Every structure is written in C-alpha cells, then in structure tokens.
Chains A and B, each alone.
Chain A
Amino acid sequence: MNDSFKPKIIYFLCSWCGTGGSETASAFGLHYPENVLPFRVNCTGSLSTVYILRAFLEGADGVVISGCHPGDCHYNNGNFRARRRVAIIKSILDTLGLEPERIWFRYVAHGEGKRFVDTAAEFNDYIKKLGPNPLKTRRDI
C-alpha cells in the first residue's frame, strides 16, 4: 500500500439518514478520514447518475452513496430507486471496462454514527489499495 496516496472520496449522503448518521457520529465524537468529503443530497433517489460520473471525471478516486435502510426512506422509495440507478451505472462501467468497484452503496441509518465512520474508513482503505483513479490526471478526456 502506498502511504503517501491520499485518495479523494466523495460521500453522497441523503438529508435524512445518511446526514443523520454523520450527526450522530459527531455527537459521539467519532472520527473519519479527512479526505472523505461528505456531499449532502436531499434523497439518494434524487441523485442523478451524471453527478456520480462527473465526480470520477473531475478527480474523485471513489464514490460512496448512503441513504436510508429499506423501508426507512423519508420519501418511501427513494433508496430503492437509487439502488436501481447504481446497478445501472455499475453495469455500464463494467461493460466498458472501467472500474465499477470504485462506487459503493451502503445504507446508513440516522442513529448509525459508528456505521457511517466505519464505512468511510473501510472505503478509504479499499481505495488506497486500489490506487488512484486513472481518469484524474488525463488531459485528453
């Protein structure tokens, strides 16, 4: 593992559970790696696939998406829709020989502060092993 490599990770969190998880984490004084950048969206179901793609092309090494657990969505089914979208984007990236494993999708509930920081740390280690996103230094994309 290259210790000098600090990946840039975008963590899309829904306003209700994902962000709630990060609030709980702060209430308990839990820490997550500083290179993980939380990005709040209203609902994971409202997150367009274009933004996930754009994050990669503009230099993110990995993207995590966290919404409410099944059945907990503030809008009833936004998380299920997000899951379908992630399935689509992963499938396309896989077909084109890009790296679908740089996208993670994990449910985090409002009270799961520990799960939030664990996910951030686990993904950070995973991306460190995977190495930098080759897209971010390309000048011809």
Chain B
Amino acid sequence: MSKTLYIDENVNDGIKKFLRCILENGKVKGVLTLINEGEKIAYSLISNPELIKYTVPLYPIMPLNAARSLSHITLSEPISEPIAVVIKPCEIRAFIELVKRSQGSVENIFFISFTCGGVYPIKMNVNGKINEKIDNFWRLIEKNEIDADLRASCKVCKEFIPYNTDMTIFLAGNKEINNQCRIFLNTDRAEDFAESTDGNIVQDKINTELIDELKVKRLEERKKLFEDKKIEKLGLEGLIDIFGRCISCHACGNACPICYCSLCYFDSQESEYKPVDYESELEKRGAIRVPPNTVTYQVGRLIHVGISCVGCGCCEDVCPSEIQLSTIFIKGSESIQEKFNYIPGKNPEELIPISTFDIKEFPEVET
C-alpha cells in the first residue's frame, strides 16, 4: 500500500493542474517539462503558471535526453530554488549517472516521472507530425499495446518504471488514463506537495498485472530484435557493414546523455591522423577511408559509455545515416551491466563499476 493522489481529470489535464498548483502556491519556483508550440516541442523551464497550459508533460517525444538539460542547469552548482521536473524514467536514470560523474546535482530538484509508454523518433517532431499521431498513442496505452512506430529502443525497454522519483504517474499499464490521474507519492516531500493541491489522497495499491503484461511483451520484442539484427554474430564483417555508413559527424556522442567529456578523445588532435600516419596506413592497406576509424569511434564509445548506457535511443535518433546504434548499444551494454550486476541510475549511492573494484574478481581475465 502506498499513498496515492487522485485527480478527477484525464491524466494529461491532471498533471497540468497539479503543476500549476505547485507553481501558484510557491512549492516550486519552476517546472521543467515539454512545451508544445504547434510545430515544435522542446524542454523548457517555466516559472509563469499561466504558461502551464501550453505544456505537454506526458507527450511521447524526447527532443533531447532531459538529463542533458538538467546537467546544463546544475553543472556549476546546485540550483538554489526548488524546481519540479517531469521527465521519463530513462532520463532520470541518465541524470543520476551524470551526477555520479559530478556533472550535476539532484539538490532541490523534485522528480516527477511516469510508467513510460515509450517515445517516437524525433523526426515526428518535424512540422508537428506528432500531433496527428498522439490520439492513436493514448489509445494504444489504454489497450496496453506497443506502437510499431516507437523508437526501437523504447519498444524493447524493460526499465519503464521509474527509480528515484518523488512522484510516479500511472500511465503505461493503466486503462483508465482518460478518466483519472493517479499519482503515487514516494517521498514525504511528495506528500507535502500533494496536500497543498485539491486532489484526494488515498491509500492505494499499484495494480501491477498490466505492467507485468507489458514487460513480457517488451521482453519478447527485445528477443526478436536481437535475433533479427544478429548482434551476437555480427563479427567484423557485420560491424564494418553497419558502421561503414558512419560519416564521423559524432552526433550520436553529442546527443548521448552519458557522453559528457568536454573534449572527447575522438575530437582531439591526438586521434587525428597526420600525413605520415596516412602514409604508413596506406603501405599496409593500399587504401584508407578519410577520415578513418569509424569502427574505433563506435566501439570505443560503446566501451566508454556502455556501463552507464540507459538505452534511451537518442544516438540512433540523431544518426543521419540511420545506423541502428541503439540496438548495438543496448546489447553491448547489457553484457557488461550484467557482469557487474549494475542497473544504471537505479541506486544513486552505488558507485559506477569503473570507479571502484573488488580485490578478488574476474579470475577469467587473467591469462
């Protein structure tokens, strides 16, 4: 049993009403959420309660991973006034991973998230295409089904129930989203906020039947995706085939919430080939791609961020060559996360595996 806030509206209006309330009664100074301006949807920090009516907090779109937005806000110092953020579960997890790397602070941030039904590729954000799609999305949420047009990474996501949130909105796995807004209150702060609004607070039990059903569906999709793409048997030929399309624009790294280094090794002069390097490579190979080393970049990035990859799929979304990056990254990161029994962003106290060690482990690595 946990405390739950009931608001007698559909889920979208309910959360907007709640956000407006906490802004008006001064519980928070700002709200970070998506604003819909017709042709475009973007994350914005809002302080004027009048503007809440333009927000679309639960829209299935991720213009960028909000972990990056939060890191922008809190990189130099924690925010001094409390703000509420309505973001997706993977965005919170990515932000926790950034905080572990000293790239932000959770102080004074009130986290609101929801059981996530996935998001569409950002191409849906062009010319307001998402607005045509949205009714169908809500219908599929009610039916507890997975839309085939969602991001590949969302269709196979198994961590769609948020960790470390103050409030969890019951969205995916809820058939009643059109009639009720149910918000689980996970912390004392959330209870305090809820009491200041005019919804009903009751003791409620989360109905996990539909969530479990959705999880099974997604795990099936996951298995299917990995089998279809044959990730395990890719080998060198497969990798070169896939990454051969890479144009080295490094957009995936720039969109990735975990790739935070201000000077990436792959953007540095150190990784740049000098004429003498080209000459020596040409002697060996007879020909060379310019710029070279797309495979090094992709595999190198996977090794660097794999341990904290939350599988949000932003990398694949921004790729101009439409490389199926998220499938490769999800599969690759799964293998190391299982090795360390680590779910990125689940426990803020837990150290990142690469920043710690056990004295006795991995005897198989020593040869």
Q: A residues touching B (Cβ–Cβ < 8 Å)? A: 48-50, 53-54, 57-59, 70, 77, 80-81, 83-98, 104-107, 134-141
Q: How far apart are the CA atoms of A1 and B339 in the complex, in Å?
A: 35
6 smallest CB-CB distances across A and B, nearest first, come from A97-B235, A80-B357, A139-B287, A104-B367, A95-B335, A139-B285
Among the listed stretches B171-179, B192-200, B208-216, B291-299, which one makes contact with chain A, having 4 or more residues with CB under 8 Å of it? B291-299
Residues of A within 8 A of B302 (CB): 92
Q: A98-B236, A105-B365, A135-B236 are in contact. Are A140 and B304 (CB under 8 A)?
A: no
Residues in B with CB closer than 8 Å to A70 are 359
> Chain B residues near A90 (CB, 8 Å)?
365
A18: min CB distance to chain B, Å? 14
* Chain B neighbourhood of A94, CB < 8 A: 335
- B362 contacts A84, CB within 8 Å? yes
B307 at the interface (CB under 8 A from A): yes
Contact A96–B239 (Cβ < 8 Å): yes
Which residues on B sit within 8 Å (CB–CB) of A87?
336, 339, 362, 365
B interface list, Cβ under 8 A from A: 231-236, 238-240, 244, 265, 281, 284-289, 292-296, 299-300, 302-304, 306-307, 328, 331-332, 335-336, 339, 353-354, 357-359, 361-362, 365-367
Task: A83 to B340: give the CA distance in the assembly, Å.
Answer: 13
Q: Are B239 and A98 neighbours in the complex by a CB distance under 8 Å?
A: yes
Instruction: Report which of B232, B299, B336, B357 forms a contact with A91, defined as CB distance below 8 A.
Output: B336
**Which chain B positions have C-beta within 8 A of A105?**
365-367
13 contacts between A and B (CB under 8 A): A49-B303, A50-B304, A53-B299, A83-B361, A84-B357, A87-B336, A92-B306, A93-B299, A97-B232, A97-B236, A107-B366, A136-B284, A141-B295
Say whether A86 contacts B365, CB under 8 Å.
yes
Q: Are B289 and A140 in contact (CB under 8 A)?
A: yes
CA distance A80 to B335 in the complex (A): 20
Asked if A80 and B366 sit within 8 Å, CB to CB, the answer is: no
Contact at A53–B232, with CB atoms within 8 Å?
no
The minimal Cβ–Cβ distance linking B91 to chain A, given in whole angstroms, is 24
Shortest beta-carbon distance from A131 to chain B in Å: 13
Using known A-B contacts A48-B265, A106-B366, A139-B285, determine if residue A96 contacts B231 with beta carbons closer than 8 Å.
yes
Complex contact A58–B240 (CB within 8 A):
no
Docked pose: A86 CA to B304 CA in angstroms: 12
Q: In the complex, which of the residues A88, A106, A139, A141 contacts B294, with contact meaning CB atoms closer than 8 Å?
A: A141
B289 touches A53 (CB 8 A): no
Q: Contacting B284 at CB < 8 Å: which of A59, A83, A86, A107?
A: A59
Q: Which of B281, B285, B292, B362 contacts A83 (CB 8 A)?
A: B362
Tell me if A80 and B359 are in contact (CB < 8 A): yes
How far, in Å, is B87 (CB) from chain A's closest CB? 28
Alpha-carbon distance A136/B365, docked complex (angstroms): 24
Contact of A139 with B354 at beta-carbon distance under 8 Å, contacts A49-B303, A92-B303 already known: no
Measured CB to CB, the nearest residue on chain B to A133 is B236
Residues of A within 8 A of B359 (CB): 70, 80
| B293 contact set on A, CB distance < 8 A | 54, 57, 141
What residues on A are CB-neighbors of B304 within 8 Å?
Answer: 49-50
Q: How far is the CA of A111 from the CA of B234 in the complex (A)?
A: 43
Q: Which of A98, A104, A134, A138 has the most CB of B within 10 A?
A: A138
